[in-house]
Amino acid sequence: MKETAKKKDKQLVREKAYEILHLLSDPHRMRILRTLSENGELCAKDILVHFPITQPTLSHHMSVLQKTGLVAAKKCGRQVFYRISPEGLDLLIQFFSEIREEGLRTDLISATDSPRSIVKPSPVPSTETEKENEDPEVASELSHTKKKTKAEKEHKKKKKDKKKKK
């Protein structure tokens, strides 16, 4: 039961990390994070000084960064102050740490050269005949494709003949 919960937690972390990484593909968002990390807490007008974007565009980017948990905001009067949220960064750090650990484990396993750790690639059928012999579904699909191609060729030939007659 606990193992299943751990797997679900890992999967949630991964999905959230994927979402964050996708949203960070925008260069402005990456630069906003860098600006906040270098300057600490800033209000929107102070962030805008560093970018050639409009206030509504910045507002959109800040909203996205807040939803991902990478940026925290607090309102002080009419201004909103933004800062990096350690919790959001911790999620990404955890994600990359897991990737690193899994990669290191894989390296250690392959370094032992035990027969169980070596994964032999299955031979890839090179010809259609080999593909047909390997999988009946593939065979039926290939034969269907062959028939279709043959029928298409005949149809094209008939069209050419008609044009020549005219």
Check residue 146 and give its pLDDT. 52
| Sign of the alpha-carbon dihedral angle for 159, 161, 163, 166 | negative
Q: Is 68 among the domain residues?
A: yes
Q: Examine the domain organization and report whether 70 and 138 are in the same domain.
A: no
Q: Provide the CATH number for the domain around residue 71.
A: 1.10.10.10
> For 52, which DSSP code?
S
Instruction: Walk along the chain (166 residues) and give the pLDDT tens digit of each residue.
Output: 677 888 888 888 889 889 999 999 999 999 999 999 999 999 999 999 999 999 999 999 999 999 999 999 999 999 999 999 999 899 889 989 988 888 877 766 665 655 554 555 555 555 545 544 555 554 555 455 455 566 677 777 777 787 777 6
**pLDDT at residue 133 in the model:** 52
Final residue before a domain boundary, out of 26, 60, 88: 88
Give the domain extent around 133: 128-165
Bridge partners, 73 (sequence order) = 82
Per-residue pLDDT, 143: 53
Tokens standing for residue 150: 């043959």
In a domain, residue 77? The reply is yes
Q: Minimal CA–CA distance to 66: which of 36, 38, 45, 39?
A: 36
Q: What is the reported pLDDT for 113?
A: 52
Q: What was the pLDDT predicted at 131?
A: 47
Number of domains, the chain? 2
Quick check: is 93 in a domain? no
Say if 69 falls within a structural domain: yes
Where among 64, 88, 112 does a domain terminate?
88
Residue 103: inside a domain: no
The C-alpha angle with vertex 115 and arms to 111 and 121, in degrees rounded to 5, equals: 90
Tokens of 63: 């909203």
